[in-house]
């Protein structure tokens, strides 16, 4: 089933010049970029992305660190489309904790910080990328980050085969 999902290339990855390397991973897998922009969000917008639900699941400490991390610099927001896009993007990005992410995944190749290290140093886990975790989150996150007229429909070579 074709679906859309949101990816955020976080400030550290932007600062490290990883945007092109990250995007190429998704394009190489046949995923289609249907929306993309660079934005520098404020804390109010970040709170709409990392909602109170994060506090309930992961704690206020973690949410506050994520909010601070997301506003450190510009973010590249991308909407990807493809067959089972949510699952495939999450497989390409790797485990949320970079230390346990497999080599060959984005986090496994470009990040290494553990939850313990981040907690011990009072910082967010610098995992460089966000991807929607499920269909409901993808729908809500895409609507938050993109207006309908910022999403595009066009054919790629994969559209002729899938």
Is 49 among the residues known to form the active site? Answer: no
Instruction: Tell me the two tokens of residue 49.
Output: 């992305």
Residues 6+ apart with CB under 8 A from 115: 97, 99, 125
Compute the distance between CA of residue 120 and CA of residue 15 in angstroms, rounded to an integer.
24
Q: Tally the residues of the chain.
A: 162
Kindly state the tokens that stand for 6: 């949101």
Catalytic position from the list 17, 49, 112, 130: 130
What's the Cα-to-Cα distance from 9 to each of 70, 89, 121, rounded to whole Å? 10, 13, 23
User: Which of 5, 14, 12, 9 shows the shortest CA–CA distance to 33?
Assistant: 5
* β-sheet bridge partners, residue 37: 77
Catalytic annotation, residues: 130
């Amino acid at each position: 089933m074709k679906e859309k999902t949101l990816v955020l290339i976080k400030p550290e990855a932007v600062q490290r010049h990883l945007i092109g390397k990250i995007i190429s991973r998704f394009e190489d897998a046949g995923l289609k970029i249907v929306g993309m922009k660079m934005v520098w969000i404020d804390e109010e917008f970040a709170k709409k992305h990392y909602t109170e639900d994060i506090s309930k699941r992961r704690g206020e400490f973690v949410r506050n660190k994520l909010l601070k991390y997301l506003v450190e610099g510009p973010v590249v927001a991308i909407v990807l489309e493809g067959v089972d896009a949510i699952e495939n993007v999450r497989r390409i990005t790797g485990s949320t904790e970079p230390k346990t992410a497999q080599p060959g995944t984005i986090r496994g190749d470009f990040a290494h910080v553990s939850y313990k290290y981040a907690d011990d140093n009072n910082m967010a886990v610098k995992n460089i990328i966000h991807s929607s975790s499920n269909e409901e989150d993808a729908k809500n996150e895409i609507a938050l980050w993109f207006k309908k007229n910022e999403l595009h429909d066009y054919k790629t070579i994969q559209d002729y085969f899938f």
